[in-house]
Amino acid sequence: MTNTDDIAALKEEMAALRDEVGLLKDRNEICALQYKYGYYLDKCLYDEVADLFAEDGVATFLNGVYRGKESIRRLMCGWFRELFTGGHNGPVYGFFLDHLLLQDIITIAPDRQSAKGRFRCLMLAGTHESRPQVPGMPRACWEAGIYEHTYVRENGVWKIGVYDYSLLWQADYEKGWAVGGALLPPLTKTYPEDPNGPDELLPSTPPVWPETRVVPFHYPHPVTGAVWSGDPVGKRPENMGEK
């Protein structure tokens, strides 16, 4: 090889390494973004949570779709904040909402302007006996679900573009998850009829425990390359003999 060839090969290697480092940096920033979301949510810092979203972000929660950052503020700073802290932005005496995020899988788009992320959520919530319960909730409860988000780079900063939380199960702590079911009722009204309501209602609320389901994976199988396309809803007892 000539010196010119050597230089060209080094430049090519440097470019590849630069891209690899960039992807690693993006992944770390997105992972940190989602974890910071969890820490803010833990302490009922709903203004801070809303500021993590892109201007044209979309959030799906239960059977409601909130479109745009101002609509997402209705979800976070309206419904959630009023329900859990009586309108106060921040922690309140006698209420906790520990929000664990685990098993992160992040896939960066080739242009590095968007990404997909999957996280498992395990949540513990409780109201101390010295204060009134949160309406519609037991004093202590569990919740679990899957986040399948889209992230976008907006003005050079990674933000949440599409927020899609699939609630899988909730359970009263005293009774346990063997008898658990949904604690939160489905949404029935849109904004402005409901001041904190979504812009759109989905046709139905996705099933929760004791139903079991697969939240679709944004990524292909890492060995076969196949995209999973099975039945997302678990087989019911009356159909267990079917293949």
Q: Which of 120, 134, 127, 137 is nearest to 84 (CA)?
A: 134
Q: What is the pLDDT of residue 242?
A: 58
pLDDT tens column, 220-229: 999 999 999 8
Q: Which of 140, 158, 137, 138 is nearest to 149 (CA)?
A: 158
Residue 18 is given by DSSP the state H
Residue 130 and residue 162 in contact, taking contact as beta carbons nearer than 8 Å: no
Residue 99 and residue 51 in contact, taking contact as beta carbons nearer than 8 Å: no
- Stated pTM of the model: 0.90
Burial (CB count within 10 angstroms: exposed 0-12, middle 13-18, buried 19+), residue 241 = exposed
Q: What is the pLDDT of residue 1?
A: 57
Question: 207 falls in which pLDDT band (50, 70, 90)?
Answer: confident
Q: Which of 153, 89, 145, 82 is nearest to 119 (CA)?
A: 145
As a whole number of angstroms, the distance between CA 64 and CA 17 comes to 43
pLDDT tens column, 17-57: 888 888 999 999 999 999 999 999 999 999 999 999 999 99
Question: Hey, what domains does the chain have and what are their CATH numbers?
Answer: 3-234 (3.10.450.50)
User: Is the pLDDT confidence value at 233 over 90?
Assistant: no
- Cα angle vertex 145, ends 210, 28, to 5°? 160
User: Is the pLDDT confidence value at 186 over 90?
Assistant: no
Q: What is the pLDDT of residue 243?
A: 56
Q: And the tokens for 100?
A: 């664990």
Q: Which of 55, 230, 57 is nearest to 149 (CA)?
A: 57
